[in-house]
Structure 1
Amino acid sequence: MSKKFTTSIVFTACLSFATLSVASDLSPFDNAVALFKSGQTEQAIALFEKQKENPNALVYLAKIYMDIDLDEAEDWIEKALSLSSKDAETYYIRGAIMGRQASGSIFSALSYAEKSVNSFTQAVELEPDSIKYRNGLMQFHTSAPSIAGGDLDIAKEQLEKIKQLDPKAGLEAEINYELSQDNDVLAENLLQQAKLTYKDLPDFYFQAGMYQQRSENYQAAFEELSTAIDKEAKTEESILAKYNALYQLGKTAVLGEKNIVAGIAALQEFIDKAPDLDGMSPKPWAEFRLANLMALNSQKSEAKVIYLRLAETDNQELSKQAKKAAKKI
């Protein structure tokens, strides 16, 4: 499988660290969601597992286990699908899970890739006006090799549909499409056009910052992300761009080992103020990046406290990295 395919179809669950007890006036499902969003993952899992006839609870379990155990995530999403075979979101999450399975498997990669594309396709068929689902299908086809079902003609079809649904979302999708095909000059020109057309929004400055970060142009990324943070955000898409820019500015400071103080401030603001929205960068990882910067800023004792706490998280990759970082201090 190509590197692009292994990295593109990723679902990240959002967590926050506020303490929260179970509220008696909420339903069992809403209580479980609240526990999950507060970072009390084990308690949330236990409560979700008691609701095995509720497909929404099973979808949440699948989301949680995507960062813990992909096989377990696959089991839960298949159970959810057996209870609700006409739910677009269930198919979308299944597509993401199968995409991850494909990227991590040698012998079953093609089988998982087929399940992934079929799931994204079904989500689009069930809700054809969903930009999110069409983006998921487009990203599959731009990142998967043809042997795994990737088809650029289908990707272009999704791009045109997104443009028809929403010109701004279409421009974002077009930039991502050109980047996926290594058409960097064209993508850069589109980004410049987008920043002029939507100059009062953070969205395209954030997208430009991510492009520069991936290109390892860390100072340019820092400047684009700083501009995104300064813009006003009113829609959910712009709020996501603004707060994710805070997270990515901190990550950029880690990667470039520059603008350390600004990176610390950005991550602290993200952790304190970022709202709980789908697509928001995960706060546990923000705390890990914050610890990285503290270590670079001669605040090693504070960094180690954060590392040791994160080492106990349910997220296996985060726990592994936190333990490794703690040992270096």
Structure 2
Amino acid sequence: MSKVIITCAVTGSVHTPSMSPYLPITPDEIVADAVAAAEAGAAMIHLHARDPKTGKPTPSPEIFGQFLSRIKQQTDAIINITTGGALGMSMEDRLAAPLHYRPEVVSMNMGSFNFNISHAGSKVTEWKYDWEQPYLEATKNIIVSNTFTQIENAISLLNEHDTRFEYEVYDISHLHTLAYFADKGLIKPPFFIQGIFGILGALAADPQHVMYLKATADRLFGKDCLFSAIGAGRHQLPIITLSAILGGSVRVGLEDSLYSGPKTLATKSADQVSKIRTIVETLGLEIASPTEAREMLQSKGADKVNF
């Protein structure tokens, strides 16, 4: 079994400020959370940006620029920029920061799907900002668009900068889409496949789904497959622990879950990193350092990014 890469997604675009006072919003908060996560053992930091005044997800390269170089200066972790952006963003918006900053790794959704988070604010009694509730409610009528043309164009543009991909897979069919692009020669191994479980409209957080997705990925890509998993919300620890047991890697962070335990809000993403690190090492497995993760992913190195 190879070493376990811990990815940490510190803010995302799913949760809103009213759901937790600990959700990183400002560049300073994102930097602090990312650095703490790296110090706790995360080899890769996955990043979204937010308007520092309202906490609303933004694709703005200018705002990304307010924290990317600072995180790079303070950690050796691989910096991974989203191309998923936020619900309702165009593909042009979603690619703006990745194309400008040319990171080592970006996320890449491998198909279109429903992403219903309208229920996510059910416990909120008072909203801090007027955008939050309509944003969540609108997800009942939004499709996350990742057509074959969109995926091919995005990958082609990012290939010019030798950027590697975290292939986000929300359905079994997405693995076959990935195999299609691999057969075309548009993407090259190793394939870092991030299975996502627990989103309403995509694969449920069922252990059998995790095992089947990984088995299918192994069948399609063999030794070129580097599997990892995300468990949304309360499913986080059970799903990612299973991934580690099956020989895969794991992702945590406040993008995926706001909690560190039952009814206990995580004060920072590092709380979750520390918890899964303890579990992984208790299982007799080793976590990958940033240097080892770079070797596993064959990424270009932090000295070749544009920030």
In the superposition, the TM-score normalised over structure 2's length comes to 0.32
User: Whose RCO is larger (CA < 8 A, sep 6+)?
Assistant: 2
